[in-house]
Structure 1
Amino acid sequence: MKKSSHIQAFFGAHIKKLRLQSGLSQEAFADKCGLDRTYVSGIERGVRNPTLEVINVLARGLNVDISALFAFEKDEVDE
């Protein structure tokens, strides 16, 4: 079983990738989601563990299904 910090890092890196593909700055994305920019930064860096409610907000902010947030590959994270 992987450490939770690894899954958080994979998830965060994928959120960042999707955000950048959407052409959103971290601040614009945070505003769109109604979240603090530093919280979004923490998610993207893998140091925050978002709740299911926040995961839903992130998906809506990126205009994707929740499942798309978990469609990441291990190689998306710089180790």
Structure 2
Amino acid sequence: MDVVKLLGMNVRHHRKQKGITQEELAVAAGMERSYVSDLERGTRNPSVAALGRLAVALEVEPAALLQSVPD
């Protein structure tokens, strides 16, 4: 699977697990909501810094955003 799409699926999974909206995640990660939306759809290539901010906001290790989607 394409790593960008995998990242997007994982971001969405962890965001929904936390019960937060894209807007809430965006604010917590210091990003625009549209950027989070693009990431979740797999249409945006995030920087390493953005990956780190998302992981902190989602309270997961950065590697968890790049691994196979949890069941």
TM over 0.5: yes
**In 1, Cα distance between the equivalents of 2:10 and 2:47?**
16
1:34 counterpart = 2:36 = no
**In 1, Cα distance between the equivalents of 2:42 and 2:11?**
10
Give the deviation of 1:9 after TM superposition. Answer: 1.0
**In 1, Cα distance between the equivalents of 2:53 and 2:21?**
16
1:55 counterpart = 2:19 = no
SS at match of 1:20: helix
Runs (4+) of structure 1 exceeding 2 A deviation are: none
Residue in structure 1 matched with residue 17 of structure 2 by the alignment? 21
Aligned partner of 2:17: which letter?
Answer: Q
Residue in structure 1 matched with residue 42 of structure 2 by the alignment? 46
**In 2, Cα distance between the equivalents of 1:67 and 1:8?**
13
Give the deviation of 1:67 after TM superposition. Answer: 1.3
**In 2, Cα distance between the equivalents of 1:11 and 1:72?**
9
Q: Percent same amino acid among aligned pairs?
A: 34
Aligned residues: 70
**Structure 1: runs of 5+ lacking an equivalent:** none
> Whose Rg is larger?
1
Give the deviation of 1:18 after TM superposition. Answer: 0.5
Contact 2:4 2:45 in 1 (8 A): yes
